[in-house]
Amino acid sequence: MQQTEVPVAERGREAASTASPAGVTSKPEALKIEEISPLAAASSPEAEAFRKEIIRVGRKLWERQYVDGCGGNISVRLGSRYVLCTPTMLSKGDLEPADICLSDMDGNILAGDRLRTSELLLHLEIYKASPQAQAVVHCHPPYATAFAVTGATPPNGLIIEYELFIGPAAVAPYETTGTKAFAETVRPFVKDHNTILLANHGIVCWADTVTHAEWLVEIFETCCKTYLLAQQIGKPLSFIPENKMREILALKRRLGFPDARLHDAAVPAEGTSAELERLMEQVTARLEDRN
Ligand SMILES: [Zn+2]
C-alpha cells in the first residue's frame, strides 16, 4: 500500500479546478470545465458522474431517515465557476438526473428545468469561505437536530470517529431558512469546522466529495445517538486520555481535516508512533475507497 505524502483534503484542494468524480479522468488537452459554456458543462462526463453521485447520496439520506418531505439538499462544485445542486420541492429519495440544476457561484440557474433548492445560498457561502469544500450536504437527521434545537453539541473526547473526522461541531445561530442572512450564519465557522449545526433546523457538512460529506452526517448522527444512549446507562462516561487525544489530532492534521484544536501548539506536527502510522494508512485507504 503506497505511503501517502499529501493529506487527502490537500489533494482535494489541488484538484479544485479540475475536480472529477470517481472513475472520470480529465483529458489534459481538453478545456477545463470553467472554460466551456454552462450547457456544455452541464452535459460533460464530469457533470453526468456528479449527478449519479448526488442521486445515490440523496437516496441514502432518505433511506437513513436523515431527510423528511422535500427537506435537505446536496451540491458539488463543477470546476471553479459552476455548482450542481438538488432542486426545491422534491424528495431526496426520488431524484432523477434531469432534476439536478446547474448554478453559478451567485445562485443563478444556468441549466436544468427545475427551480434550485432555496438553501443553495448556504452551500455557496461554504464554498466561498473554504476552497477545501468541494461538496456540501444539508439534512435534518433526528438526533443531530435534537442537539440543534437545544443549541448544544455532544461532548468531545468520547468517540474516536467523531474526533478524527469532525471534532467539535459548531452551532450557527437561528435565521430564516433560504435567506442570505441564514446563509451567512455559517461563515465564521466554516474554516475550522466541516460539520455545523443549524439552530432549530438541522445540520450541514462539507467535504472533498458528496459521498464523504454524507459520511460526516452519518458519523455525527451516530455520535449524537450514542452519547444520548450512553447517558441512559447510568455509569460515568469514559473519556479518551489526553495524550491519546493528541495522537488523534496529529493524525487529523496529516489527513488535512479542519479542527480549531489544531491551532494548539501542544498537538505534535507529525505522528509519533508506528501505531499512528498504521492508523493513518487505514483511514487514508477508507477515504480513497480502497477497502
Ligand atoms: Zn433544511
All three cell numbers of 153: 453539541
Rounded distance from Cα 139 to ligand 1 centre (Å): 6
Report CA torsion sign: 48, 53, 59, 61: negative
How far does CA 265 lie from the centroid of its chain?
A: 26
Rounded distance from Cα 94 to ligand 1 centre (Å): 17
Q: Tell me how crowded residue 6 is: count the other CB atoms within 10 A of its CB.
A: 12
Rounded distance from Cα 260 to ligand 1 centre (Å): 25
- Give the pLDDT score at 290: 52
Rounded distance from Cα 193 to ligand 1 centre (Å): 18
Q: Please answer whether residues 91 and 62 qualify as being in contact, where contact means their C-beta atoms are separated by less than 8 angstroms.
A: yes
Catalytic residue among 119, 125, 175, 221, which? 119
Rounded distance from Cα 124 to ligand 1 centre (Å): 15
Rounded distance from Cα 60 to ligand 1 centre (Å): 17
- Give the pLDDT score at 74: 98
Rounded distance from Cα 157 to ligand 1 centre (Å): 28
Dihedral in degrees, nearest 10, Cα atoms 50, 51, 57, 61? 140
| Contacting residues for 50 by C-beta, under 8 A, at least 6 apart | 21, 76, 78, 84, 100, 210
Cα–Cα distance measured from residue 216 to residue 263, given in angstroms and rounded to the nearest whole number? 22
Rounded distance from Cα 40 to ligand 1 centre (Å): 30
Q: Please answer whether residues 34 and 52 qualify as being in contact, where contact means their C-beta atoms are separated by less than 8 angstroms.
A: no
Rounded distance from Cα 77 to ligand 1 centre (Å): 20
Through-space distance between the first and last CA atoms of the chain, rounded to whole angstroms:
11
Cα–Cα distance measured from residue 61 to residue 86, given in angstroms and rounded to the nearest whole number? 13
The verdict on whether 63 is a catalytic residue reads: no
Q: Which residues of the chain have pLDDT under 50?
A: 1-19, 23, 27-28, 291
Query: What are phi and psi for residue 109, nearest 5 degrees?
Result: -75, 130
Nearest to 39 by CA among 115, 112, 120: 112
- Give the pLDDT score at 70: 94
Angle in degrees, CA 38, 135, 64, rounded to 5: 120
- Give the pLDDT score at 283: 74
